[in-house]
Structures are given as C-alpha cells and as structure tokens.
Amino acid sequence: MGNLKALITLHMDHHENNRLSGTLPATIGQCLYLEELIINGHGLTGTIPDSLQRLKSLRLLHLDENSLTGTIPDFFTNFSSLEELHLAKNRLSGTVPEGLDSMTSLHALDLNGNPKLEGHVPDMGPGFKEQADKLAGDLSGDFMSEMTGSVDAAAAHEAAGGHDGSEL
C-alpha cells in the first residue's frame, strides 16, 4: 500500500472501462485514516477481509453490487463513526450482526439483494423507514417483522406530533 496508508477517501464506482475483479485486498486495512470506502458495481469476490476492522475512522462503506460472499463481520458494530453501510446485491449469507442498534451514527443500511442473509435488526428508530421499504421481502427470518414494527412505531410517534419528519 506504500504511500496510500494516509488515504482518506477511496471511491471506485463501476464504469464500463473500469471494472475491478478479484478479492478486496487485506492490505486495505493499512489505510488507517480511511473515512470513505466506496467500491461498488464491480466483480469483487471472496469475503469481507478482517483487516477492515482496523479502519476505525470509516464513515461510509459501500461495497454493493459485487459478488462478495460469507457473512457480515460483527466488527462493523464497533465502528462508532460509521454512518452508511451498503452491502446490497452481493452473495452474503448468515445472520445480520446483533448490535446494530448500538450504532448511534448509523443512518443508512442497505442489505437488499442478499437472499441468503437472515436475522433481524433491532429497533433502529424512524431514520430507517426508507431502508425498511427497500428491504421488504429480501431477508428471511424475523428481519422484516422487526423492521416493520420499528417503522410502524415511528409513524405512530410522528402522527402523534412527536416527530416533525425533518430527520428522514
């Protein structure tokens, strides 16, 4: 990684002439100052490397529209600065990590298009209404019933005058 260790932002959206393949290199974990890692729409395969747990400053993680396999690592729940976690349209499996509810900075979660992913997300509050709509029918298990309950509670709170909608 050499001089890239001080990298703060890495955006590599898919373009017809710029298609990555292979695995996400474990050396990405050496970019300790990385705040935005966006590599979507490519052909990345393999699992999400454990070395990403070193990226404590990460705010945005978008690895959607690849062919990543394996589980969603539990260490994401320890990222206190993570605002957006987009892992949609991969081949992820297993259970959605517990502890997502303790991530106070997380306001966008997209796990759509991972048919082998199961589990539930605890009450995340009204900011996840749009995400619940996106995820409808995509995850198995108790996920949607838990998410829908959270959205219904938020809508009731808003209807009662407890929420002005400015946070959505």
- The domain spanning residue 57 has which CATH number? 3.80.10.10
Position 132 in a domain: yes
Its sign, for the CA torsion 39, 40, 42, 44, is positive
Phi, psi of 9 (to 5 degrees): -130, 135
pLDDT in tens, 74-83: 999 999 999 9
The whole domain housing 114 covers 2-159
**d(Cα 114, Cα 163) in Å, to the nearest integer?**
32
Position 167 in a domain: no
Residue 129, SS3 per DSSP = helix
How many domains does the structure of the chain reveal?
A: 1
2-24 average pLDDT score: 77
Position 137 in a domain: yes
CB-count burial class (<10 Å; 0-12, 13-18, 19+) for 22: exposed
Position 164 in a domain: no
Q: Residue 147, CB half-sphere, CA atoms under 13 Å: how many?
A: 27
27-41 average pLDDT score: 94
The pLDDT score that the predictor gives to residue 42 is 87
pTM of the model: 0.73
With bands split at pLDDT 50, 70 and 90, how would you rate the model's confidence at 113? Answer: very high
Position 45 in a domain: yes
Q: Is the pLDDT of residue 67 over 70?
A: yes
